[in-house]
């Protein structure tokens, strides 16, 4: 996601469980571990793509005015300082890195120029805050204000990966080995394709037709990775946009009938379901076309919604489950005219009791639950295979 300026047909909710086990790779590599983690992974590298839910520093590296994310209290829970992550601490991708036993590698734009092979020893993160599946030019052609939309869309990020691949693999044989022994995380991506126009006062009737184009773009990027030799790809869906505090603030004048029993906006959640249903169908199509591939859809919608409905089960505060921990005050503490690190912002005393960090992004506590479901118990996706030694530990299990 990232900072943004300011009657659909009913859709059935599909309950997704674990989907398709991985094609296991053949070789393990010993790697230096993240803090408090010692493990050997079946994967040699992790490459990730997406928006601010995955960005670990690309946005603040290229932006001349990175704004609130570059100042405290961002990063306070784990890193103790702002790192370019749009959260109080770690993101899902950080927990994946820990699980694989890798050190926290730098974001792609933080690499030296010219980049060296050693800089991408464990992979790279190409995700950029405010990133979209569709290009910036697409939205400009649709007469949107693109000042808040990064030019580094998913297609551009795939282009960056091709440059990295050429850096670390100079022969076809090397490229084949790198691709076969790497894990690819494509997303979360797509939410900003809807956020940007909605926050520019476009109607749901304007936004809903974008969904097939967004899913098509994600599919093309997955196919590009397959053509390059990728064997294991994870593709997260979008979590319920109708439960996002900033949307609840933005559409605070909605009619009572627009909300579900959890207090979320039904029509926005319907948009999310449509996106996820079409994305799952696209992944099923890709699996049929590429039977030797492991392409795993990561279900986030139902897990997220279950926490909103019963927050206390996971340690979240019932009264503030739809509120931002750090925000500009007002309904849901989500007045986006004042950002989290600006004077006048209202900050909660304990981010671990909140789902939302700044009204648009999540807390480390929430990302930890999402990562655990993906990597350990596997209710969100097929769990990652790792070859742990007898002393292996992961501090967030």
Q: What would the 3-class secondary structure string for the chain be?
A: CCCCCCCCCCCCCCCCCCCCCCCCCCCCEECCCCCCCCCEECCCEEEEECCCCCCCCHHHHHCCCCHHHHCCCCCCCCCCCCCCCCCCCCCHHHHHHHHHCCCCCCEHHHCCCCCCHHHHCCEEECCCCCCCCCCHHHHHHCCCCCCCCCCCCHHHHHHHHHHHHHHHCCCHHHHHHHHHCEEEEECCCCHHHHHHHHHCCCCHHHHCCHHHHHHHHHHHHHHHHHHHCCCEEEEECCCCHHHCHHHHHHCCCCCHHHECCCCCEHHHHHHHHHHHHHHHHHHHHHHHHCCCCEEEEECCHHHHHHHHHCHHHHCCCHHHCCCECEECCCHHHCCCCCCCCCCCCEECCCHHHCCECCCCCECHHHHHHHHHHHHCCCCCCCCCCEECCCCCCCCCC
Question: Is 361 a known active-site residue?
Answer: yes
- Annotated catalytic residue within 22, 196, 339, 361: 361
Question: Is 217 a known active-site residue?
Answer: no
- Annotated catalytic residue within 51, 88, 270, 358: 358
Question: Is 61 a known active-site residue?
Answer: no
- Annotated catalytic residue within 39, 41, 48, 52: 52
Catalytically active residues, by annotation: 52, 358, 361
């Amino acid at each position: 996601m990232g900072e943004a300026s300011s009657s659909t047909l009913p859709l059935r909710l599909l309950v997704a469980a674990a989907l398709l086990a991985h094609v296991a790779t053949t070789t393990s590599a010993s790697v230096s571990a993240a803090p408090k983690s010692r493990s050997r992974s079946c994967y040699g590298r992790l490459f990730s793509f997406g928006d601010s839910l995955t960005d670990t520093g690309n946005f603040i590296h290229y932006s001349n005015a990175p704004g609130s994310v570059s100042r405290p209290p961002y990063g306070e829970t784990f890193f103790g300082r702002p790192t370019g992550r749009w959260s109080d601490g770690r993101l899902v991708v950080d927990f994946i890195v820990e699980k694989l036993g890798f050190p926290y590698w730098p974001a792609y734009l933080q690499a030296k120029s010219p980049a060296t092979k050693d800089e991408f020893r464990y992979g790279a993160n190409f995700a950029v805050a405010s990133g979209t599946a569709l290009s910036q030019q697409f939205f400009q052609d649709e007469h949107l204000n693109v000042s808040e939309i990064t030019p580094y869309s998913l297609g551009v990020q795939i282009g960056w990966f091709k440059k990295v691949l050429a850096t670390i693999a100079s022969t076809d044989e090397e490229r084949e080995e790198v691709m076969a022994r790497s894990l690819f995380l494509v997303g979360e991506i797509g939410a900003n394709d809807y956020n940007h126009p909605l926050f520019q006062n476009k109607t749901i009737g304007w936004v809903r037709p974008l969904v097939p184009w967004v899913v098509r773009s994600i599919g093309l990027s997955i196919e590009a990775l397959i053509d390059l030799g990728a064997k294991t790809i994870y593709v997260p869906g979008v979590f319920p946009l109708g439960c996002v505090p900033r949307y609840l603030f933005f559409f605070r004048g909605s009619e009572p009938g627009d909300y579900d029993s959890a207090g979320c906006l039904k029509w926005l959640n319907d948009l999310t379901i449509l996106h996820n249903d079409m994305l799952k169908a696209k992944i099923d199509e890709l699996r049929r076309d590429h039977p030797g591939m492991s392409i795993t859809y990561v279900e986030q919608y139902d897990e997220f919604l279950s926490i909103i409905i019963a927050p206390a089960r996971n340690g979240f505060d019932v009264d503030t489950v739809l509120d931002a921990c750090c925000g500009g005050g007002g309904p849901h503490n989500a007045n986006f005219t004042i950002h989290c690190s600006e004077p006048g912002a209202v900050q909660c005393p304990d981010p671990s009791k909140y789902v939302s960090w700044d009204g648009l992004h999540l807390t480390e506590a929430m990302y930890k639950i999402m990562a655990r479901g993906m990597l350990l118990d596997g209710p969100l996706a097929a769990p990652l295979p790792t070859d742990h030694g007898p002393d292996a530990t992961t501090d967030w299990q």
